[in-house]
A and B are shown apart, each in its own frame.
Chain A
């Protein structure tokens, strides 16, 4: 561990967590969001030298991505799921992707976070650790309110766990103001799995439109157990439920724009799957 003037550079997670417990510090992952703030206040805890937070691996149930993995590293990984790589590849520009991390992206608490959208639609988990505790929770439970996370004192995000089961057939669309360097104005992701003519999984999520990423598994689950043609039969009902469930806020674009685009993309996702 190296102590600098206004900064700490731990080499292990254990060192980092001890500092989190003992000092008043601000975790610095990649800096691409943090450095937009005026630098007053706490020292920075630089996490970018902790090797164990940079691992991407696959086990029987999950693809595990260390919180310090940069967007570029995820994009270049053979192990990371394609839906996530797709999202990472469209984020900002090369320099931001080289230093921004998935942990920082989530830790920012914003519904515009491109990685968070993917984690929501995949019903992923995140593992949080402090010097004295460890817990693994669903990503949806981590976001309490706009920019308010269930992050306790002394905790760091150490890993995301993406369930491997339903990643094959995905739909992803990011809408920004231009083709690169664009903050997401509407994000949509969808997953659908069919086995032996029967739908076994449907998941959708909407990013950047409300204070928290929108995910309604209870609506999506309507399709489970149905065949594609049966699904077509209840499609209108499904869409009506989403019509009522999605309530976008105005931001860089209007509520009406966000609502219309969300519904259009949702329909397109269904169309692409024959529904």
Chain B
């Protein structure tokens, strides 16, 4: 029997628990990556967003066994990148961070939008964050921030 081996924020790790364990729980409790939030545990809010093999995922809906051999990135890993700096500044410029609970998920969703579409239309932006609920902002400032990041991050995506 093998341990679950995967890459977590660039580092090779081994998880010794059950393949049925929820990725969200393991990230928060075993790896202490509390930037990954729990808003509903039903895949309906996006607060638990992570990036798995380059794709946006709700970590509450991912069983550990399914990421064996995969690449998992959380906000803690992404925040070390150049792209994050551009997103950080953009969100800051328009004060898109209110209570902050949705924000790590929104940032990763931002990365996933721009990685596929470096110059998204507003509609594409809204679609790209449509799985991330926010109750504070009304979404305008977040959409604006993503547009700014796309512009300012010319060449990065």
Interface residues of A (CB under 8 A from B): 2-9, 28, 31-32, 34-36, 39, 43-44, 46, 48-49, 72, 92-96, 98-99, 179-181
Which residues of chain B (1-54) have a CB below 8 Å from chain A? 1-4, 16-22, 42-44, 46, 49, 52
Q: Shortest Cβ distance from B120 into chain A, in angstroms?
A: 12
Tell whether, in the assembled complex, residue B18 and residue A6 are in contact, meaning their CB atoms are under 8 Å apart: yes
Given contacts A99-B52, A179-B130, 4 further A-B contacts (CB under 8 A): A4-B4, A28-B66, A46-B63, A49-B69
Tell whether, in the assembled complex, residue A48 and residue B66 are in contact, meaning their CB atoms are under 8 Å apart: yes
B104 interface residue per 8 A CB criterion: no
Q: Shortest Cβ distance from B44 into chain A, in angstroms?
A: 6
Tell whether, in the assembled complex, residue B46 and residue A46 are in contact, meaning their CB atoms are under 8 Å apart: no
Report how far A4 CA is from B109 CA in the complex, Å: 30
Tell whether, in the assembled complex, residue A99 and residue B65 are in contact, meaning their CB atoms are under 8 Å apart: no
Secondary structure at chain A's binding surface: helix, strand, loop or mixed?
A: mixed
Tell whether, in the assembled complex, residue A99 and residue B130 are in contact, meaning their CB atoms are under 8 Å apart: no
B148 interface residue per 8 A CB criterion: no
> Which of these, B55, B65, B127, contacts A7 with CB under 8 Å?
B65
B103 interface residue per 8 A CB criterion: no
Report if A99-B20 is in contact (Cβ < 8 Å); known contacts: A32-B43, A46-B68. Answer: no
B156 interface residue per 8 A CB criterion: no
Report how far A92 CA is from B45 CA in the complex, Å: 11
Interface residues of B (CB under 8 A from A): 1-4, 16-22, 42-44, 46, 49, 52, 55-58, 60-66, 68-69, 109, 112, 127-128, 130-133
Report if A44-B63 is in contact (Cβ < 8 Å); known contacts: A4-B2, A96-B43, A98-B55. Answer: yes
Report how far A4 CA is from B18 CA in the complex, Å: 8
* A9 nearest CB neighbor, chain B only: B68
Tell whether, in the assembled complex, residue A3 and residue B1 are in contact, meaning their CB atoms are under 8 Å apart: yes
Tell whether, in the assembled complex, residue B43 and residue A44 are in contact, meaning their CB atoms are under 8 Å apart: no
Tell whether, in the assembled complex, residue A35 and residue B60 are in contact, meaning their CB atoms are under 8 Å apart: yes
Residues of A within 8 A of B56 (CB): 94-95, 98
> Which of these, A4, A9, A92, contacts B131 with CB under 8 Å?
A92
> Which of these, B1, B62, B68, contacts A35 with CB under 8 Å?
B62
Q: 7 A-B contacts, Cβ less than 8 Å apart?
A: A7-B18, A9-B65, A32-B58, A36-B43, A48-B66, A72-B55, A99-B58
Residues of B within 8 A of A92 (CB): 43, 131
Residues of B within 8 A of A46 (CB): 19, 63, 65-66, 68
* B5 nearest CB neighbor, chain A only: A2
> Which of these, B2, B17, B61, contacts A99 with CB under 8 Å?
B61
